Amino acid sequence: MFNKILIANRGEIAIRIIRACKELGIKTVAIYSSADEHAQHVQLADESILLGDAAPKESYLNVDKLIRAALDSKADAIHPGYGFLSENASFAATVASAGLTFIGPSADSIRAMGDKAESKIAMKKAGVPTVPGFEGLESDVDFKKAAKEIGYPVLIKASAGGGGKGMRVVNEESELSEAVESARREALNSFGDERLLMEKYLADAHHIEFQVFGDKHGNLVHLFERECSVQRRHQKIIEETPSPLLTPKLREQMGQAAVAAAKAVNYYNAGTIEFIFDPILSSFYFLEMNTRLQVEHPITELVAGIDLVQWQIRIAAGEKFPFTQNDFHQHGHAIECRVYAEDPANGFLPSTGRLLQFIEPRGPGIRVDSGFTIGSEVTHYYDPLLAKLIVHAENRDAAIQRMQTALSEFIVHGVVTNIDFMQTVLKHADFAQGKVSTRWVEKNLESNSLLSDAQAPELQSLIAAALADVVFVGVKAQSAVSNETDPFTPWKQTNSYRN
C-alpha cells in the first residue's frame, strides 16, 4: 500500500479522496492555487503545496509543477479526481515515467476511449451497439451525404470533445454548413482538434450510464446504472439509481455491454460507460466512456455498498478485486443533486461571491460532499459546484421525499444557487413518472414552468446584506487566528462563524 498520495485536484473531490486515504492510513498532499489558499482541502491534508496563480494552467493543469510537487513531497502516487487532468493520457504516462503510480486506468486505455470517433470504431468491433452515424467526415459534401443517409435531425460532435463543446443539433440541410463550421471552430479552440463526427440525434432519449470496475489481474464487473437525464447545457444536475426505466432484462443486457466495452480496451480501475437510451424502441447505444471517477459516484456507493475511492487506491497498489458480478446487488434507491452557484433564471449563469451562510442538511440517509463552508469565496476561475447532496432510502418515492426535505434545509446565502430549481424538478409529475429526457429541462425552461418556484432575487439580496457585516468580522477573526503562533490556543479549534 502507498505511504503518501498527492491529490491533483481541489474542492469536494479532493476532500473525498483525503478521507478515503485517512481510513487506509495513507498520508496526503494537497496542491492549491493562490485562490485556494484557505480552501478546506488544503486544511484537511497532511501537507499542502502552492503551485501557482489562480488560473488553472498555472496550477491544477500544470503537469511539470504537479510532478515536481509529488517528487519533492516523496509521494508514491497521484490521484487525479475528476476534471482537470483526470482523462489526460499524456499526464498518466508522465506520472508513470516519473516513477509514480497514476490512480486510474492505463494511458493506453484513456487514449483509446478519449477520442469519440476512435472509441466508436472500437465499440463496433466489440459488438457494442452504437448510435447510427459516421466518422472521418471532412468536406461539406461528406457531411451532407452522411446527414441524408442518417436522416434529420442529426448531431455534430467534436471527436476529441466533451462537456457539450463542439456539439450542434442540425434539423435541416440549410443549417448544416454553418453548424459544421461553428462546431469545428469551437472544437479547435477547446481541444486543439477540429475533427468532427455525425450521429443520428435522438430527441427524447435518456442518458443512462454504467459504473464499471476492474483490477490489473483481469477481473472486471459493473456496479449497475445511473440515470442522468436531468441536464442543462449537456451537463448533469440530478442523478439517480436504479433507473426508473430499466427492466431486469434490459439492465442485464446493458451491464454486459458495458463490461464488453471496458474489456475491449483492457480497462482497469473505475470507469463509466455512457449510453443513450430510447424508451420508445427500448434500444440503447454506446455514447462514450469516462475513464475516471464520476462526479455522481456516491449514489453507486450507497446502493452497491462499496467505497469506490478506497478501491481505486487499492487496485492502483496492485490488489486483486475480490468480488464477482454475483456479489453485487442494488439495495434501495439513491439520488444526487448537484448544488451549483448559478442562476437558473439567467441561463444558469455562474454566480460568484463570499458564502455568507452555508448550512448543510443532516439526518438519516443524507450525505453531503462539499468543499465549501461559511466565509468561503466562490470565484470565476473554477467550476461553480458547491456541493453534492446525496440521499438514500428504501425506494424511489421515499428517496425523492427525503431529497426534497434535505434541499429545503440546505441554506446558502451570498451567491445565487439552483436549489429551488431542483426542488421544482423533483416535484414535477414527469420526474415522478421517470419521463425526463436529456432535453426535458431545455423544453420546460422555454415555457418557464421550472422557474415558478424560484426564490425572489430581492429576498436573497436582503438576506445577503443583513449577514455581510457579521460574517466579514468572523472571517477577519479567523484570518487573525490562523496567524497565531501559540499552537495550544483554543481559538484554533473554532471556525469563522464562532469567531
| CB neighbour burial string for 452-463, b if at least 16 within 10 angstroms, e if fewer | eebeeeeebeeb
Kindly give the pairing relationship between strand 196-200 and strand 168-170.
unpaired
Q: What are the strands of the beta sheet with 101-102, ordered from one edge?
A: 47-52, 27-33, 4-7, 77-79, 101-102
Which set of grid coordinates corresponds to residue 436?
425526463
Which set of grid coordinates corresponds to residue 291?
475513464
Phi and psi torsions of 59, nearest 5°: -140, -85
Cis-peptide, bond into residue 242, ω within 30° of zero: yes
Cis-peptide, bond into residue 153, ω within 30° of zero: yes
CA distance 308 to 293: 8
Asked if 78 and 72 touch (Cβ cutoff 8 Å), the reply is: no
Which one from 292, 314, 396, 402 is the annotated catalytic residue? 292
Angle (CA) 210-216-220 rounded to 5° is 30
Q: Helix, strand, or coil here: 59?
A: coil
CA distance 287 to 207: 9
| CB neighbour burial string for 100-122, b if at least 16 within 10 angstroms, e if fewer | bbbbbbbbebbbbbbbbbebbeb
CA distance 266 to 272: 14
292 is catalytic: yes
Asked if 390 and 403 touch (Cβ cutoff 8 Å), the reply is: no
Asked if 60 and 36 touch (Cβ cutoff 8 Å), the reply is: no
CA distance 275 to 258: 9
Neighbouring residues of 308: CB distance < 8 A, sequence distance ≥ 6: 211, 213, 223, 270, 293, 297, 300, 301
- How many alpha carbons fall within 13 Å on the CB side of residue 188? 7
- How many alpha carbons fall within 13 Å on the CB side of residue 190? 19
Neighbouring residues of 12: CB distance < 8 A, sequence distance ≥ 6: 369, 370, 371, 385, 387, 388
CA distance 42 to 37: 7
**Which positions are annotated as active-site residues?**
292
